[in-house]
Structure 1
């Protein structure tokens, strides 16, 4: 979501830096991937090349990227993470319960060709057809978070505005006849860009929790990718650790 807020006191280059940094830290731009050129950033954000260059300079200064001659600017940030094991059936049940306790406004449903980095996160080839759904989730009359979901088109035939208002997307995808076999979850602290801030009724660059979940079926095939942006003042993540887990982790 390329956007900057020209009314805020936060410099444009710093807003761009924060958005790119969040994409890198969350894994949307993985280690070794190429960053957009200064010209592409200038066009995407509607700023001068000088502003785009300053944002890239800041990323390089903080060791998120490195400029390489005849190659381009590459991501060099690489944080190894040991996955936490959890039961997929319990996780899906929890998501269904969560969906029923909150209200949803469907903002957008499109059928389109998916590009990078979403294609890699979902586990499909760039250019594959997907169903993309954007929903705003409410709790007690206030925005809680915004979720952007991508589903391979052949699994998303049940997804429409009416069905998304009545059932969680995990339930709709399961109606394709395929069962979830597992999921990879990544949680990252990010800053709200102007567009997301307006949806969630918070200040630009306010903290958000980005929860990315990539679901696959029992054979490892891609089923669903969700990227949820939750207000940090309204959403918490809790892990209950067992004694053996505590000993291994600490």
Structure 2
């Protein structure tokens, strides 16, 4: 099953009952809501969108029009289409060490099936988030995490191609990707994480053994090193009936 992104694989299910324009609308909307396409960023043109999804320009125009109608983007002649959505939620600060410990514990408590590890040209959103130079490639790693033999999450991660010797089919079976990168000298200083809900498309439903259009918990994470350079992007999709996030909230003590 291919992961999510743009311009590299088949992105829509042409046999689904959901119209193509609405499938594309939902994918772009979710990328905006998750922060993959941040406020002020440019969306593809009608022509680029049509080529990316192998649809007509009329379909691409409707997608961008619907995004504008729902106040996710603004379209201006000769200036293109830019994201205008800002999340109303204020970021919550949390301890990075505790978060990493939790992720490593999840890795130890589940089994992983490595679906694919490939070196390739990145989607635009990934290249921008990892601050890659033009033409620089990435390693894309796709895994399915299982709990008690049942699929729990479909996880797609990206790192710079210079780490293709670190992130491999063999090493991902041995340890979680954060541990592999830490062993290679890439230590997590801080991360940005967005949690949202999406509906499973046909491919996700097949990978996670759920019904199409079932609710999925989507966690997008960008991890930074000691020099504030991003070195890992992960998009994890978890079954809502088997996965939840617990937070212990405490009242701050007066100083």
Scaled by the length of structure 1, the TM-score of the pair is 0.88
Q: 1:59 to 1:6 in 2, by over 3 A?
A: same
2:11 to 3, 8, 12: 3
1:137 to 130, 145, 161: 145
Q: Does 1:208 align with 2:211?
A: no
Q: Does 1:21 align with 2:58?
A: no
Distance 1:75 1:89 in 2: 33
Q: 1:5 to 1:204 in 2, by over 3 A?
A: farther
Q: CA deviation at 1:122?
A: 2.9
Scaled by the length of structure 2, the TM-score of the pair is 0.87
Map of 2:40 onto structure 1: 32
Q: CA deviation at 1:193?
A: 3.2
Map of 1:248 onto structure 2: none
Distance 1:7 1:114 in 2: 27
Distance 1:156 1:172 in 2: 11
Contact 1:18 1:191 in 2 (8 A): no
> Unpaired segments of 5 or more residues in structure 1?
246-250
Map of 1:50 onto structure 2: 58
> Unpaired segments of 5 or more residues in structure 2?
5-9
Contact 1:106 1:135 in 2 (8 A): yes
1:99 to 80, 84, 107: 107
Q: CA deviation at 1:5?
A: 2.2
CA offset digits 1:14-47 (Å, max 9, x no partner):
1111111111111111112221222222232233
Q: 1:3 to 1:152 in 2, by over 3 A?
A: closer
Map of 2:241 onto structure 1: 233
Q: CA deviation at 1:141?
A: 2.2
Q: CA deviation at 1:75?
A: 1.3
Distance 1:44 1:104 in 2: 31
RMSD: 2.1
What does residue range 182-201 of structure 1 map to in structure 2 within 5 Å? 182-201=190-209
Distance 1:240 1:87 in 2: 12
Q: Does 1:12 align with 2:20?
A: yes
Contact 2:40 2:83 in 1 (8 A): yes
Map of 2:182 onto structure 1: 174
Contact 2:154 2:208 in 1 (8 A): yes
CA offset digits 1:137-176 (Å, max 9, x no partner):
1112222111111122334532211111121111100111
Distance 2:226 2:88 in 1: 26
Q: 1:5 to 1:115 in 2, by over 3 A?
A: closer
